[in-house]
Amino acid sequence: MPSDLVSAPVQRSEEPGRQRLIDWAAVRALVVRGLNELLRVPGAAIPGIVSPAIFLIGLVLVFGKATDIPGYGTSSFLAFVLPVALLQSAGFTGGATGVNLGRDIEGGWLDRLLLSPTSRATILVGLVLSASLRVLIPVPPLLLIAIAVGAPVPSALGVVITFVIVVMFTAVAATWASILALIFKSQQASPLMQSSILSSLLFSASYAPLELLQPWMRTIAEHNPVTLVVEGIRQCYVGDITWAVTWHALAALLVMGAIFSLWALVRLRRYER
Amino acid sequence: MPPHAIVTTGLEKRYPRGGTYAVRGVDLAVDPGEVYGFLGPNGAGKSTMVRLLVTLLRPSAGTAFVAGHDVVKNPAAVRANIGVALQDAAIDPLMTGRELLRLQSVLHGIPRKAVAPRSDLLLERVGLTEAGDKRVGEYSGGMRRRLDLAMALIHEPSVLFLDEPTTGLDPSSRLLLWSEVRRLRDQGTTVFLTTQYLEEADQLADRVGIIAGGELVAEDTPAALKAQVGRPHVHIGLCDPADLPMALEVSASVGSPRPGVTPSCLDVSVDHGSRELAALVRVLDDAGIVVESMAVVSPTLDDVFLQKTGEHLAEEAAA
Amino acid sequence: MIAPSLALGQRALRLTFRRPQFLIPLFLMPSIFLAVNTGGLASTTRLPGFPETSGFLDFQLPAAMVQSLMLSGLQAGIAVALEIESGFFDRLITAPVARLSIVAGRLIAAAVLAVVQVAFFLVVGLVFGAQVAAGVGGAVLVLVLGSLAAVAFAAIGMAIAFRARQASVVQGMFPFVFAILYLSSAFFPRELLGSPADSISAWNPLSYMADGLRTPIAFGLEWTPILEGFAVTGAVIVVASLLAVAGLRWRLSDAV
């Protein structure tokens, strides 16, 4: 009989104890907080642009002649590795979500979120969604820089596919990094978050098509779902866009996203032990 | 079932590593509208106890009901009815006080129209109206605690948990927080407060539980706990040391007198304390003895603590 | 002057090995890039103009080494900046220790750590099928040149730290490490680099350091690039040490 105890309860939009799976008003509030972090720290978006840009331009300066070898399907190494740089920026943004969550766990902010009656899924969606929106800040300038130094201008469809995949990859990376944050409960796991995401990207068909990879590397890349993601963006800059490649990329992202989300929710529940 | 605000039976938290108990076999019943002080030194299990009660930790054994709901079976209902201010006020330094309160309102499912007025009201109540649009990074320690309290109160919880609310605060901020806690009690909110400061427990709590090594070693009103340690006495200073034999004789009708540490004073053990003051004044006056000073000396909670646990509490806050 | 330098060097080394979170990246990051570059781009040895070599892994090993040594130099700078921030450094300079010992201690530590780093990548290379073309003598040459290169990078790191004083600023140099790497022949033959990296790399000392390390591993005892490597490394050590000592002086004159 809790009503006896309550002095004067504020009118609530719903019965306590009965919660929607996802409370979108709360998600929105959490997303706003996540974006604040980026908008209020001057220069916070810079690393997400500068590092992949240096990486991209550097790779092209160093290994640019690689496309003289038959099999790349393009004479522009820049066009070939551009997806890697875009996804690197996405992975970095996603990884930062885990880094921030680690900080929030250390500082007690996650405790505060968990103390609210909102559902655990709401909290996870809020975290991941704000990462996915944040990636829209570094990626357009990065794409423009690439085009300025000679990358092909994508078609409208190419732009759409690029951004859809980049946003989804950010969400997957953010979920993965959040799992690590919930396991280690500390910012100390940050290098592990960032390096595991970067490795997933590099150990794919990142620098060369599958056929040109060393046999051991080819085996890894063929089993690495991120290869499908890289190829999903690559088709917008090298060769033609096909439904099959697009579909494979989206499916890979959805499967990874589903598995990681469930895992993250389990970890979030276990957090209370 | 009596409508307790907090009831625990055999509550335990044991950590898998090493199998040590952080909280062991705690039975607790806190009435609605009561301020319950949980007293113990660092590492005694106070914070673990709070985390168990607010659903941030799952008990290893025993049960706990908070605001009428089981913390394990219905944690969401518990969360909807409690307000919590944890020890380290985790507040995002980049956000303003007002923004944080609004976020907290939304997370607690307060209807959209009510969010802004409710946040403003709470800011006013903790005296942060002017600082409301400043980023929290610029707040002082006391301001952060007050904002933390406002966030804990945003949904008008029936039970409020305050984990060491004044640790590290300056005396004036501490007094402000105390008066807010009293006000909440007057409005009928149950307050569960942990502290390592005796004075705080003495000042605020209707009842005090003493925890040491994860176990509840004593529990009662502050006065009753003190009474367990010893009776209060009245310390009397005389103008003329020659009056001492007479003073000892006449005050025996009120309590048990004994000579004090100097030739011009005596101590009279009494049952209650201030209640016997008038009687003592009367008998001394009737005997024509001129009294220079008179003071009731009560045992402190530290005496209780010493007796129950064999150690002193750190008394840094007594000043 | 020698005893305090050695003592400070020993302290710096001990601290490095006690912080695995700083030590591990020195080995892990270059290893990841080594694996990805060789696994992904080994076919580039087929490019016309790519020098005759025993293998692409052999060719890439020195890139991993200089990368690791540069990161270690940056970390030496971060460590010094942290000591400045924490006030330890002030305690050090008020002690009756020669100023030069403070710089020398760090450089000695970097040289010793470099032997471990270079040896690690040599072993990794040998395990995964690389060879040292110039044999055991060549491996010794690589270890010595690697240590000297580490001294040069550590001196640069310290020179930056004395100016910047804040660890976060030194940390911010991280992308530049890669920019300098990409503008050198560390990863790829200089003649095959894209413009303008091909011409810039001719002026980049790192090119000569990397080629000096590469020659005994991938090509054999060809003395011109090896001696060029030692000469350029020596010159960088002299210039960077002077800058570091000047930075220290400047910091001291600025102290209240």
**Model pLDDT for residues C139-149, shown as the tens digit of each residue:** 999 999 999 99
A–B touching, 3+ CB–CB pairs within 8 Å? yes
pLDDT at C128 over 70: yes
**pLDDT for residue A74 is more than 70:** yes
Q: pLDDT at position B89, please? A: 62
What are A107's two structure tokens? 């500082």
Q: What is the pLDDT of residues A197-212, one digit of tens each?
A: 999 999 999 999 999 9
The pLDDT assigned to A273 comes to 64
**Tokens 């530590």 found at:** C109
Say which amino acid occupies C190.
R
Q: B242 pLDDT band (50/70/90 cuts)?
A: confident
Distance, in angstroms, between B223 CA and closest chain A CA?
26
Q: CB-based contact (8 Å) between B155 and chain A?
A: yes
pLDDT in tens, A28-68: 888 888 777 777 777 777 877 888 999 999 999 999 999 99
Which pLDDT value is given to residue B8? 93
Distance of CA A49 to the CA centre of its chain: 15
Interface chains of chain A (3 or more CB pairs under 8 Å): B, C
Chain A residues touching B104 at Cβ < 8 A: 112, 116
Strand-strand pairing, B190-195 and B35-39: parallel
Q: Provide the Cα torsion B99, B101, B104, B106; round to 10°.
A: -70
B207-212: strand order across its sheet:
B82-85, B159-163, B190-195, B35-39, B207-212, B215-220
Closest CA to A166 of A102, A84, A100: A84
Predicted local confidence at residue B162, as pLDDT: 92
- Residue C154 contacts residue C55 (beta carbons within 8 Å): no
Whole-structure pTM value:
0.82
Residues of chain B found within 8 Å of residue A9, distances taken between Cβ atoms: 155-156, 158
Cβ atoms of residues A118 and A191 within 8 Å: no
Are C188 and A68 in contact (CB < 8 Å)? no
Q: How many angstroms separate the CA atoms of A52 and C239, rounded?
A: 31
CB B247 within 8 A of CB B284: yes
Q: Residue A7: is its pLDDT beyond 80? A: no
Encode C223-244 in three state secondary structure: HHHHHHHHHHHHHHHHHHHHHH
Does A202 contact C at CB distance below 8 Å? yes
- pLDDT bracket for residue A19 (50, 70, 90): low
CA distance to A40, A138, A144, A186, C41, per residue, from A131 (Å): 15, 12, 21, 19, 32
Least confident of A240-244, B274-278, C252-256: C252-256
pLDDT at position B94 is 81
Q: Does the pLDDT of residue B108 top 90, yes or no?
A: no
Q: What is the pLDDT of residue A266?
A: 92
Q: Which of B58, B80, B99 is nearest residue A117 as measured by Cβ atoms?
A: B80
* Residues with Cβ within 8 Å of residue B161, at least 6 apart in sequence: B50, B53, B54, B82, B83, B84, B85, B152, B192, B193
Using CB atoms, which residue from C41, C179, C194 is nearest to A54?
A: C179
Nearest to A61 among C25, C175, C182 (CB): C182
User: What is the band of C253 on the pLDDT scale with cuts at 50, 70, 90?
Assistant: low
What's the confidence (pLDDT) of residue C98?
A: 72
Average pLDDT, rounded, for chain C? 89
Q: Going by beta carbons, is chain C in contact with chain B, meaning 3 or more pairs sit under 8 Å apart?
A: no
**H helices present in C87-173, as ranges:** 88-94, 99-127, 135-164, 167-171
- Read off the pLDDT of each residue in C241-248 and give the average, rounded to a whole number: 88
- What does the pLDDT read at residue B30? 93
pLDDT at B141: 82
Which residues on chain A are in Cβ contact (under 8 Å) with B82?
115
**Which residue, among B66, B71, B36, B37, has the nearest Cα to B56 in the 3D structure?**
B71
| pLDDT at site C256 | 41
B208 in Cβ contact with B37 (< 8 Å): yes
Which are the contacts of B126, defined by CB distance < 8 A and separation ≥ 6?
B146, B147, B149, B150, B180
Quick check: C39 and A63 CB within 8 A? no
For residue A111, give the nearest of B86, B99, B103 by CB distance: B86
Euclidean distance between CA atoms A125 and A26, whole angstroms: 10
The ipTM is 0.86
Query: What pLDDT is recorded for position C240?
Result: 93
User: pLDDT digits over B243-252, tens only?
Assistant: 888 888 888 8
3-state SS track over chain B: CCCCCEEEEEEEEECCCCCCEEEEEEEEEECCCCEEEEECCCCCCHHHHHHHHCCCCCCCEEEEEECCEECCCCHHHHHHHEEEECCCCCCCCCCEHHHHHHHHHHHCCCCHHHHHHHHHHHHHHCCCCHHHHCEHHHCCHHHHHHHHHHHHHCCCCCEEEEECCCCCCCHHHHHHHHHHHHHHHHCCCEEEEEECCHHHHHHHCCEEEEEECCEEEEEECHHHHHHHHCCCEEEEEECCHHHHHHHHHHHCCCCEEEECCCCCEEEEECCCCHHHHHHHHHHHHHCCCCEEEEEEECCCHHHHHHHHHCCCCCCCCCC
Higher pLDDT, A3 or A28: A28
- For residues A171 and B267, the model is more confident at A171
Which chain A residue is nearest to residue B2, measuring alpha carbons?
A1
A66 touches chain C (CB under 8 A): yes
**Inter-chain contact A191–C36, Cβ cutoff 8 Å?**
no
The predicted model gives B209-214 an average pLDDT of 87
Cα–Cα separations (whole angstroms), residue A147 to A156, A221, B62: 15, 27, 64
Given C36, C175, C187, which is nearest A62 (Cβ)? C187
CB-based contact (8 Å) between B61 and chain A?
no
Confidence of residue A23 (pLDDT cuts 50, 70, 90): confident
Q: Does the pLDDT at position C70 exceed 50?
A: yes
Cβ contacts of B249 within 8 Å, gap of 6 or more? none
Residue B282 pLDDT exceeds 80: yes
Question: Which residues of chain B make contact with A41, given a CB cutoff of 8 A?
Answer: 94
pLDDT at C100 over 50: yes
pLDDT band at B319 (very low <50, low <70, confident <90, very high): very low
pLDDT given at position B113? 87
Which of chain A's residues have a Cβ under 8 Å away from the Cβ of B86?
108, 111-112
Q: Name residue, tokens 């001394």.
A: B284
Q: How confident is the prediction for chain B on average, in pLDDT?
A: 85
Distance from CA of A203 to the nearest CA of C (A): 6
Which residues in chain B have their CB less than 8 angstroms from residue A117's CB? 76-77, 79-80, 107-109
Band the pLDDT of B313: cuts 50, 70, 90.
Answer: low
Are residues A160 and A249 in contact, defined by beta-carbon separation less than 8 angstroms?
no
**Per-residue pLDDT tens digits for C132-173:** 888 899 999 999 999 999 999 999 999 999 888 788 888 888
* Interacting residues of C27 by C-beta distance below 8 A, sequence separation 6+: C68, C117, C120
- B165 pLDDT band, cuts 50/70/90, is confident
Tokens of B194: 């942990």
Please tell me the distance in Å from C29's CA to the nearest CA on chain A. 8
CA dist B174 → A111, B167, B318 (Å): 24, 9, 12
User: In this predicted structure, what is the pLDDT of residue C52?
Assistant: 84
Which of C29, C36, C194 minimises the CB distance to A203? C36
State how far the Cα of C174 lies from the Cα of A55, in Å rounded to an integer: 12
Q: Flag the least confident range among B251-265, C26-40, C218-232.
A: B251-265
